[in-house]
Amino acid sequence: MIPFDYRRPDDIGTAVATVTGNPRAAFLGGGTNLVDHMKLGVAEPELLVDVTGLTSRDIERLPDGGLRVGAGVRNSDLAADPLVRERFPVLAQALLSGASGQLRNLATTGGNLLQRTRCVYFQDVTTPCNKREPGQGCSALEGYHRHHAVLGASRQCVAVHPSDLAVALAALDAVVRVQGPGGERTIPAETLHRLPGEHPERDTVLEHGELITAVDLPGLPFGPRSRYRKARDRASFAFALVSVAAALDVAGGLVRDVRIAFGGLAHKPWRARLAEDALRGRPAAPDEFRAAAEAELADAQPLRDNGFKVPMARNMLVSVLTELSAEDGAA
Amino acid sequence: MESEISLTVDGVRHDLVVDTRVSLLDALRERLGITSPKKGCDHGQCGTCTVLLDGRRATTCLALAVAHDGADITTSAGLESGGTPHPLHQAFLDHDGFQCGYCTPGQICSAAGMLDEAESGWPSAVTTDLARDPVLDAEEIRERMSGNLCRCGAYVNIVAAISEVAGRRSA
């Protein structure tokens, strides 16, 4: 690890100005990903600006039935929050399916969203990787890529985003609040992360120095009927092969409304709008769910060793929606 | 770059100067000679460096010491009181919850933190009803302890040891 300076400013404005003014500065949250990358040589900041005491650790009620989650709220506290469990079970389940108990106690809401891919080549500085060093080439294209993308990838990068939280937030139409040198702005969670294109080194649309301060969860009347499912190589403490976040509103046997996002399929959480559009107004039935999933996945372009993800994603979506449509209260 | 910090470990305050690169784990082991937390993977994956950090279980290998100035830390060694083992220590002995013992201090601290989390009503990934207080059956314990690896594979006995203590606490 290269030497670095550490600062803990008194306010968010100073933190933002400090990082903005130094291209090699980085914000420090719980550190569970960044410190690991510093040990591996993947990240080499010369200045860490600790924001754990600055961003809010509160979960506030919004007037529309939603919640505002401070960026400093720990993953464990967010998952355990009674209102989150009641109104947005998909969010609690997504968080609980990620990492381990002792990591969730450290990891923050903002930091979770900004964690980087677990592509083995990205994390190994001895192998070429366009995300780590643009222009080096992608080792995963012909290498070990079981975990990699089947949707929206480019020849430059086939990595997937690892956050479970981000998948739930994309499905819930969450809004990310950001403080930057020019003031505050809001970004739909669905568009916070980007597809790799020609610039896989950029995971998100954030500019250097912009700090996530909170995440707003808008009220969703059918939020209580939501769920997160994750398939992985071991039963616990592993990243997703495929994950599904879904919320379903059924009336008179028909789909009145639905929210769907996939994890593990792309460089960003994959909001399944084609599937959602296909389902609205249609019978809440497995064959309809299957057709919607297939519509969403029609453009999938698997690599040599990850073709299993396409039927896995389809089957998981059918299973989750079928379970949600059978829950108490579904008419 | 160096920084002055203080850490209270198992009830004793220590003032020290650390390089900003030093992890909390290395500060404990290499600087303070407190070797109860162990270094396994050093990447947050094995859990053997787990302590109670300000009352909550946390890995110390991915925590920078400088970022935890003023922290109150309890290690497995600090869980005993007046020469009497903690109930988890005794249960691990009674159930042979280890072979080589290297992961044990991390397992003990993680279990202690986990029992408090469950008592506070925190759900886990295998909790089916998020509205109800969880019951710590074997499936719940395995899920909640998945951040602690045991290369000897003493898991069956670890789960038995924790089950016994959990059962006594909820009785």
Q: What is the pLDDT of residue A327?
A: 85
pLDDT tens-digit series, residues B99-129: 999 999 999 999 999 999 999 999 999 999 9
Distance between A299 CA and the closest CA of chain B, angstroms: 32
Look at residue A233 and tell me whether its pLDDT is greater than 70. yes
3-state secondary structure (DSSP) of residue A324: helix
Mutate to test the interface with B, among A105, A123, A124, A230 (most CBs of B within 10 A): A105
User: What is the topology classification, in CATH, of domain A5-50?
Assistant: 3.30.43
The beta-carbon neighbor of B47 closest among A31, A79, A100 is: A100
Looking at the predicted structure, is the pLDDT value of residue A331 above 50? no
- Whether residues B68 and B103 fall in one domain: no
- The residue whose two tokens read 């903002």 is A110
Size of interface A-B (CB pairs under 8 A): 110
Kindly list the domain boundaries of chain A, sorted by start residue.
5-50, 226-325
Integer Cα distance of B32 and B41 in angstroms = 21
Contacts of A309 (CB under 8 A, 6+ apart): A150, A241, A242, A264, A265, A300, A302
Calpha distance B51→B62 (Å, rounded)? 12
Give all strands (DSSP E) within chain A, no chain letters.
Answer: 5-7, 25-28, 47-50, 59-61, 67-70, 175-180, 183-188, 211-217, 226-231, 242-251, 254-263, 270-271
Q: Are residues B138 and B64 in the same domain?
A: no
Q: Are A236 and B144 in contact (CB under 8 A)?
A: no
**Residue B82 falls inside a structural domain:** no
Q: What is the dihedral of CA B145, B146, B151, B153, to 10 degrees?
A: 70
Mean predicted confidence (pLDDT) in A114-134: 98
Q: What is the reported pLDDT for A328?
A: 61
Contact A103 B57 (CB under 8 A): no
In words, the CATH class of domain A226-325 is alpha beta
* Nearest CB to B147 within list A3, A93, A237: A237
Average pLDDT, chain B: 97
Residues B95 and B69 in one domain: no
Chain B residue with CA closest to A52: the answer is B67
A193 neighbors A267 (Cβ within 8 angstroms): yes
Contact yes or no for B122 and A1 at CB 8 A: no
Q: Provide the b/e sequence for A3-18 (b: ≥16 CB within 10 Å).
A: ebebebbeebeebbeb
| Co-location of B61 and B38 in the same domain | yes
Number of domains chain B is built from: 2
CB count in 10 Å sphere of residue A144: 12
Contact A101 B144 (CB under 8 A): yes
Residue A208 scores a pLDDT above 90: yes
Q: Which residues pair with A50 in a beta bridge?
A: A28
Whether B25 maps to a domain, the answer reads yes
Do residues B17 and B60 share a domain?
Answer: yes
Q: Determine what percent of chain A is predicted with pLDDT higher than 70.
A: 99
Q: Which residues are CB-contacts of A13 (< 8 A; sequence separation ≥ 6)?
A: A179
Owner of token pair 């597809």: A195
Number of neighbours of residue B21 by Cβ within 10 angstroms? 18
* Residues 6+ away with beta carbon under 8 Å from A181: A16, A17, A20, A209, A210
Are B28 and B71 in a shared domain?
yes
Last residue in a domain, options B75, B109, B127: B75
Helices (H) and strands (E) in chain A, counts: 12, 12
Report phi then psi at A303, rounded to 5.
Answer: -90, -175
Which strand (E) or helix (H) includes residue A311?
helix A309-325
Instruction: Give me the pLDDT at residue A329, please.
Output: 55
Give me the pLDDT at residue B163, please: 98
Model pLDDT, residue B169: 85
Q: Which residues of A177-195 are buried (b: 16+ CB within 10 A; e: fewer)?
A: bbbbeeeeeebebbebbbb
What residues in B contact A75, CB-CB < 8 Å?
Answer: none
Residues B30, B100: one domain? Answer: no
Same domain? For B92 and B138 the reply is yes
Distance from CA of A99 to the nearest CA of B (A): 8
Q: Give the CATH number, domain containing residue B156.
A: 1.10.150.120
**What is the rounded distance in angstroms from the CA atom of residue A306 to the CA atom of residue A252?**
39
Other Cβ atoms closer than 10 A to A282? 16
- For A182, the 3-state DSSP assignment is coil
Q: From the CA of B53, how many Å to the nearest CA of chain A?
A: 9
Is residue B148, in this structure, part of any structural domain at all? yes
Other C-beta atoms within 10 Å of A23: how many? 10
**In this complex, do A106 and B117 lie within 8 Å of one another by their Cβ atoms?**
no
Whether residues B91 and B35 share a domain: the answer is: no
Interface list for A 191-250 with B (CB within 8 A): 235-237
CA distance B16 to B37: 19
Residues B95 and B160 both lie in one domain: yes
Inside any domain, residue B47: yes
> In which element (H, E) is residue A83 found?
helix A82-87
Same structural domain, B8 and B66: yes
Residue B80 lies in a domain: no
Residue by residue, what is the 3-state secondary structure of chain B? CEEEEEEEECCEEEEEEEECCCEHHHHHHHHCCCCCCCCCCCCCCCCCCCEEECCEEECCCCCEHHHHCCCEEECCHHHCECCECCHHHHHHHHCCCCCCCCCHHHHHHHHHHHHHHHHCCCCCCCCCCCCCCCCCCHHHHHHHCCCCCCCCCCHHHHHHHHHHHHHHHHC
Residue B171, pLDDT > 80, answer no
Average pLDDT of every residue of chain A: 97
C-alpha neighbours within 13 Å on the C-beta side of residue A79:
32
Structural domain for B109, as ranges: 87-170
State pLDDT tens for residues A157-205.
999 999 999 999 999 999 999 999 999 999 999 999 999 999 999 999 9
B29-88 pLDDT, tens digit per residue, is 999 999 999 999 999 999 999 999 999 999 999 999 999 999 999 999 999 999 999 999
pLDDT over 90 at A115, yes or no: yes
Domain shared by B165 and B137, yes or no: yes
For residues A268 and A303, what is the distance between their CA atoms, to the nearest angstrom?
Answer: 17
Please state whether beta strands B72-74 and B56-58 pair in parallel, antiparallel, or not at all (unpaired). Answer: unpaired
Tell whether A95 lies on the interface with B, counting CB pairs under 8 A: no
The amino acid at residue A317 is L
Q: Which pLDDT belongs to residue B170?
A: 79
Is the pLDDT confidence value at A330 over 50? no
Contacts of A236 in chain B (CB under 8 A): 125, 142-143, 146
User: Would strands A5-7 and A226-231 be described as parallel, antiparallel, or unpaired?
Assistant: unpaired
Residue A3 with chain B: CB contacts under 8 Å: 1, 19-21
- pLDDT, tens digit (0-9, with 9 covering 90-100), for A10-34: 999 999 999 999 999 999 999 999 9
- Does residue A100 sit at the B interface (CB-CB below 8 Å)? yes
Q: What is the pLDDT of residues A72-114, one digit of tens each?
A: 999 999 999 999 999 999 999 999 999 999 999 999 999 999 9
Average pLDDT over residues A61-71: 97
